[in-house]
Structure 1
Amino acid sequence: MTATQVIRSEWTKIRSVASTVWTLSLAVVVTIALGMLISALSRNEFDGMDRGTRVSFDPTFISFAGMSLGQLAMIVFGVLVVSNEYSTGMIRTSLAAVPQRGTFLFSKIAVAAGLALVVGTATSFAAFFLGQAMLGEHRASIGDQGVLRAVIGGGLYMTLIAVFSMGVAAMLRSPMLSLGILMPFFFLISTVLGNVEATEKVGRYLPDQAGSRVMQVVTPVGDDTPYGPWGGLAIMAVWTVAALAGGYLLLRRRDA
């Protein structure tokens, strides 16, 4: 099969599996709804904030508050795209049809990443505009310095989360094992390392903490992070490339 045929095949697989469609839909709904809720609460609490909190107030980043749960759905999407064929046994048929394993894996990832980018970017823009509507007079404008970068970065962040998860799933093959590692990594280990003084300098180089930097417009008071928004996204991209490389190498070396 040619690369074009493989890509078409992978597109058919993804759109025909209900679970992948539902997880992307959930990512959209949760990210936007939670962002609107937190934005509305922030507007009501703004007058009661102290001066330091107001100085660090970042209306753009607040509208992305739902990303914390939206990325959960993106992780599930990334894992299911790769590991569904292993759990059903269809991987043997797929590799028999496409013996070039690199072509097989990266066609699958290219299709899923493209879909995640479209959904993630649309979600990021929607979360921003609806979140700002909830903030009222405290809102930011898309034309303000750094705001457009943050909104575009939000879509890239969601895409990289999904692709990183695909790489991990390609290494582990099992959906349960992949989710059992990724969920605690992002929602427990990363949070603990980033909030404990002894480990916070390590935590800031983890993919989610580094990548989320691109969505920030206002730098918090006392923040001494040694990289900027695009630098943080680059760190996240390095993690993603490493996960994909690991998945590719293991796919080449072992049986289906």
Structure 2
Amino acid sequence: MSAVDAVAAELRKALTLPATLAALAVAVLGPVALAALNASQGVTDSAAEAALAAEPLVMVGAIVLGVVAVSSEYSGGRQIASTFAAMPRRLTVLAAKAAAVAVLVASAAAVALPAALLAARLVAGPGAGAEDLVGRGVGAGVYAVLTGLIALAITVLTRSGVVPIIVLVANGSVVSVSFLLYQVTPLARYLPDLAGMRLVAGEDRVAIDDALAPLPGGLVMAAWTAALLAVAGAVLVRRDA
């Protein structure tokens, strides 16, 4: 089986999982509904801001997609043994799963953000401040893909989807452990979620004073993602299925 075939197989496998379809629904339909609600209640200054304010739901969907791509292999009948039988090269399996998650998350983001903008404009009109939507929309898509890959790597290490979902979703929506650490040391701004935050948030909407600029922050987040995937690959190769 070639690498391309492996990616196609992982995509087909993922799309047969109810959790994947639920995650895609959250990532696509959730932002549309939330953007329309934000616009109708005047929560933001423009349709563009209403759409971008709904972006955290794309992150939730990305986390679930990254987790389920791995955790589904270890639930029920432990399909992981069959997966390794079909593709003995474990690093190829990990790379194929990572590529499949990246494709699904990027596709969801590419649909969700324009649809959310359209919904907000239908409700409240375009308003002002839409000029940076494309750049921030692309940044949000990159952030979502990297988040999904981080979730995948952590799930490889835990072999369970419960802990990564609870930790990552709570960290992104309830209380940010990285932000709490930032109160102790400014070095916490180099943690992946804080490093990449300017990919999504405008300069006037960041939670810390010395946040990294979008490009260096994105590179730091990408480096974290690559490192975690490398550790996950090393663990996957060495341990029993």
TM-score normalised by structure 2 residue count: 0.85
Partner of 2:73: 85
Q: What residue is the counterpart of 1:116 in the other structure?
A: 105
Offset at residue 173 of structure 1 (A): 1.0
- In structure 2, the residue matched to 1:151 is 137
> How many residues of Structure 1 are paired with residues of Structure 2 in the alignment?
240
Please name the residue that 1:9 is paired with: 9
Larger radius of gyration: 1
For 1:97, the equivalent position in structure 2 comes to 86
Aligned residue identity for 1:77 = L
- 1:11-50 superposed matches below 5 A: 11-42=11-42
Who is 2:165 aligned against?
179
CA contact (8 A) 2:113 2:137 kept: yes
CA distance in 1, matches of 2:39, 2:227: 35
2 CA distance for matches of 1:222 and 1:84? 35
**1:241, distance to aligned residue in structure 2 (A):** 1.3
How many Å separate the matches in 2 of 1:157 and 1:3?
25
Instruction: Specify whether residues 16 and 124 from structure 1 end up closer, same or farther in structure 2 by C-alpha distance, changes over 3 A only.
Output: same
Which one is further off, 13-22 or 215-224?
215-224
SS across alignment from 1:219: helix
1:248 maps to which residue? 233
Q: Which runs of 5+ in 1 are unaligned?
A: 47-56
> Structure 2 CA distance, aligned partners of 1:85 and 1:231?
35
User: Structure 2: any 5+ residue segments left out of the alignment?
Assistant: none
Q: How much identity, in percent, do the aligned residues show?
A: 29
Question: What is the alpha-carbon distance in structure 1 between the residues aligned to residue 104 and residue 5 of structure 2?
Answer: 17
Question: How big is the alpha-carbon RMSD for the aligned residues of Structure 1 and Structure 2?
Answer: 2.8
Mean Cα deviation higher: 130-139 or 203-212: 130-139
CA shift, 1:216, in A, is 3.3
> For each residue in 1:71-115, what CA deviation from the matched residue of structure 2 results, as whole angstroms up to 9, or x when unmatched?
222211210011101113010111122111111110121122112
- 1:153 to partner: Cα distance: 1.3
Aligned to 2:147: 161
Is the 1:123–1:155 contact (alpha carbons within 8 Å) kept by the matching residues of 2? no
- Give the Cα–Cα distance (whole angstroms) in 2 for the partners of residues 179 and 158 of structure 1: 15
Q: After the TM superposition, which residues 209-224 of structure 1 pair with which residues of structure 2 at under 5 Å, given as runs?
A: 209-219=194-204, 224=209
Determine the C-alpha separation between the residues in 2 that align with 1:154 and 1:102: 28
Query: What's the secondary structure of 2:190's corresponding residue?
Result: coil
Distance 1:202 1:128, change over 3 A: farther
Matches within 5 A, 1:216-235: 216-219=201-204, 224-235=209-220
The alpha-carbon distance between structure 1 residues 99 and 126, as it changes in their structure 2 partners (threshold 3 A), is: same
Indicate conservation of the 8 Å contact 2:178/2:191, yes or no.
no
Aligned partner of 2:116 in structure 1 is: 127
Take 2:21 and 2:206, find their aligned partners in 1: how far apart are those partners? 40
1:109 to 1:60, Cα distance in 2 relative to 1, 3 A: same
Q: What displacement does 1:245 show?
A: 1.2
Secondary structure of 2:88's aligned partner: coil
C-alpha separation in 2, matches of 1:181 and 1:220: 24
Paired with 1:65 and 1:195, the residues of 2 have a C-alpha distance of: 22
The answer to whether the 8 Å contact 2:102/2:148 transfers is yes
Q: How many Å apart are 1:252 and its aligned residue?
A: 0.7
- Aligned in 2, Cα 1:23/1:221: closer, same or farther, shift over 3 Å? closer
Residues 197/17 of structure 1: CA separation in 2 closer, same or farther (3 Å cut): closer
Structure 2: how far apart are the matches of 1:200 and 1:234? Answer: 21
| TM superposition shift of 1:228 | 1.3
2:146 aligned partner, one-letter code: L
